[in-house]
Each structure stands twice: as C-alpha cells, then as structure tokens.
C-alpha cells in the first residue's frame, strides 16, 4: 500500500522533558473504520556534556582512569570505543546493562616524555 503525500496527515507532538532519561508513550488514533496505536520512545541526554582528562605519570608507567558509562535506557548497550592518540589503550567494546553504570578503563602509557 503506497500513500501519496496528499493522504498524509501531520500529527505534531510537543515533548518537554524535565530530566534526562528514557520516556515511553502510546498514541491511540481512532476513526470510524480504523484503530491504530503508535509507541514512541524518546531518549533524552543531558545538555552538552564535555569533559577533560589530564594524565600525569612518569614515562613508561601506565595510569588508568575509569570513565563511568550510565545506561538510563530500557535496553542493554554494547559501546564501541575508538581511541586516537599514541599511548592510549582500552577495550574496544564494553557491555552496559539497562539501568547500570559500567566503568570504561582508559589507560595512558607514555613511551617517552611528553
């Protein structure tokens, strides 16, 4: 079944969350010949998050910083890490269960003074 644009009906929805998190909603549309239920899931992140890490360690000695990854959704996450820069190490993937906080161990091991 293909509908052209003239058959489409816009349904504006305004969503004003108070906090970060996962919000679920059902929209029930009824007519004399049809009943439809649409499920909507909105994931709201905190406002622009920015962080800076400073590592201080003697050359050739490793330092590890555990970075918390908080999963407030209703699904398990597999998070992929892409590390750039010489001397940084960490697992390529970590699993964060729903409602859990996992720690990502970011290691810096300089091979020279820098």
CA distance 85 to 103: 21
Residue 7 is classified by DSSP as G
> Per the domain annotation, does 54 fall within a domain?
no
Distance CA 43, CA 24 (A): 9
In a domain, 94, yes or no: yes
Contact by Cβ (8 Å): 57, 63: yes
Residue 36 in domain: no
Q: pLDDT for 24-60, tens place per residue?
A: 889 898 989 999 898 888 888 776 667 777 878 888 8
Domain with 96 in it: 63-108
Alpha-carbon span 30 to 22, nearest angstrom: 26
Distance of CA 48 to the CA centre of its chain: 13
Q: Which pTM was predicted?
A: 0.57
Backbone angles phi, psi at 22, to 5 degrees: -110, 125
Taking only the tens place, the pLDDT of each residue in 1-11 is: 555 666 677 88
Catalogue the long-range contacts made by 45-49 (C-beta closer than 8 Å, 24 or more residues apart): 45/20, 46/20
| Inside any domain, residue 85 | yes
Assess contact for 77 and 25: CB atoms under 8 A: no
In a domain? residue 8 = no
Q: Is residue 92 part of a domain?
A: yes
pLDDT in tens, 82-103: 888 888 999 999 999 988 999 9
Is 84 inside any structural domain? yes
The answer to whether position 57 is within a domain reads: no
Per the structure, the count of domains in the chain is 1
Q: State both tokens at 3.
A: 């509908």
């Amino acid at each position: 079944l293909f509908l052209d644009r003239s058959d489409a009906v816009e349904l504006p929805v305004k969503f004003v969350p108070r906090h970060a998190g996962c919000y679920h909603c059902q929209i029930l549309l009824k007519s004399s010949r049809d009943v439809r239920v649409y499920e909507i899931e909105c994931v709201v992140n905190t406002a622009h998050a920015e962080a800076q890490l400073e590592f201080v360690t003697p050359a050739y000695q490793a330092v590890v910083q555990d970075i918390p990854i908080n999963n407030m959704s209703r699904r398990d996450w597999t998070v992929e890490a892409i590390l750039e820069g010489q001397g940084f190490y960490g697992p390529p993937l970590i699993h964060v269960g729903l409602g859990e906080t996992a720690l990502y161990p970011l290691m810096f091991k300089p091979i020279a003074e820098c």
